[in-house]
């Protein structure tokens, strides 16, 4: 599959490449289009603590390369990639090294959110490291029923939040099952972030959610440099260009690395709706 023409098309459309150098080249091009980036090294759910340490070292090199290249961007990571399933203490130590380095470089680390079983541990770790170093933010998923309380807590602490809808298959006891409910939650949380958040990131490709954000920001007179939209590399380029032309800030999540195939298979297996999302955008300009 990895060498098939369809898989290669998928990889080149949605992944910057297998190496850091290729990811940096893509990042420079995006910067030239007035788009900032977040590099995401693929390879979640490591099988040993040694692999987690290797992932940490890749991220340390990536953070330094972004800084040394003068690229406008930062990095994002998943805690399972840094060893959370094996040792909370070692995972924290790995992430702390990266956040400390980011603070030294005046950069930033975004900790992605995984399935609901990791939510409390992720928030606790980010809250602790933010108090020590700053330079770290988090992702909150609108489809979780708990997310309003989580955002209120994070806003009060001045922790930057990236708001997304959520991509994992969750039980109805913890997540809204209907799209209309998720959309309603997303809009409510977006307003909460624009009112009280610290440079919120509104991550969506949904034109209705983008329109709601624009309208609310205009009504509340929120400056366009006080928040940013975020999208995935290779998704809705037409919409990306439109946002830039209108003077909004835009950041793309740019994945890279050799583990692109298991990354996509896992995303597709977790939630069937992701299959249709990817296929629609594969043939869309």
pLDDT at 78 over 60: yes
pLDDT band at residue 280 using 50, 70 and 90 as cut-offs: low
- Catalytic annotation, pick one of 40, 101, 112, 150: 112
pLDDT at 284 over 70: no
Give pLDDT, residue 197.
Answer: 98
Give pLDDT, residue 235.
Answer: 87
pLDDT at 196 over 60: yes
DSSP-assigned states of every residue in 161-211: EEEE---S---TTTB--SHHHHHHHHHHHHHHHHHH-SS-EEE---HHHHH
User: From CA 30, how far away is CA 26, in angstroms rounded?
Assistant: 6
Angle at 183 between CA 182 and CA 187, to 5 degrees: 115
For 53, counting Cβ atoms within 10 Å of its Cβ (0-12 exposed, 13-18 middle, 19+ buried), the class is middle
Domains of the chain: 5-282 (3.20.20.220)
Task: Name the pTM for this structure.
Answer: 0.90
- Catalytic annotation, pick one of 110, 160, 162, 236: 162
259-265 mean pLDDT = 63
Residue 112 catalytic?
yes
Give pLDDT, residue 108.
Answer: 98
């Amino acid at each position: 599959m990895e060498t098939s023409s369809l898989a290669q098309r998928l990889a080149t459309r949605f992944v910057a490449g297998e190496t850091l150098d290729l990811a940096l080249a893509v990042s420079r091009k995006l910067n030239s289009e007035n788009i900032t980036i977040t590099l995401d090294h693929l390879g979640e759910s490591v099988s040993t603590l040694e692999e987690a340490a290797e992932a940490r070292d890749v991220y340390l090199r990536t953070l330094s390369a972004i800084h040394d290249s003068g690229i406008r961007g930062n990095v994002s990571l998943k805690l399972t990639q840094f060893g959370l399933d094996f040792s909370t203490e070692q995972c924290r130590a790995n992430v702390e090294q990266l956040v400390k380095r980011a603070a030294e470089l005046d950069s930033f680390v975004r900790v992605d959110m995984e399935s609901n079983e990791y939510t409390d541990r992720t928030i606790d770790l980010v809250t602790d490291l933010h108090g020590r170093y700053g330079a770290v933010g988090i992702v909150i998923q609108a489809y979780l029923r708990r997310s309003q309380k989580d955002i209120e807590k994070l806003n009060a602490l001045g922790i930057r939040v990236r708001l997304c809808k959520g991509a994992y298959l969750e039980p109805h006891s913890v997540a809204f099952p209907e799209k209309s409910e998720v959309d309603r939650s997303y809009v409510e949380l977006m307003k909460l972030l624009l009112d009280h958040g610290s440079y919120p990131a509104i991550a969506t490709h949904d034109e209705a959610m983008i329109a709601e954000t624009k309208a609310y920001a205009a009504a509340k007179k929120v400056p366009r440099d006080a928040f940013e939209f975020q999208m995935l590399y290779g998704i809705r380029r037409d919409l990306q260009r439109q946002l830039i032309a209108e003077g909004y800030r835009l950041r793309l999540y740019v994945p890279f690395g050799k583990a692109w195939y298991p990354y996509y298979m896992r995303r597709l297996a977790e939630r069937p709706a992701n299959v249709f999302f990817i296929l629609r955008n594969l043939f869309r300009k």
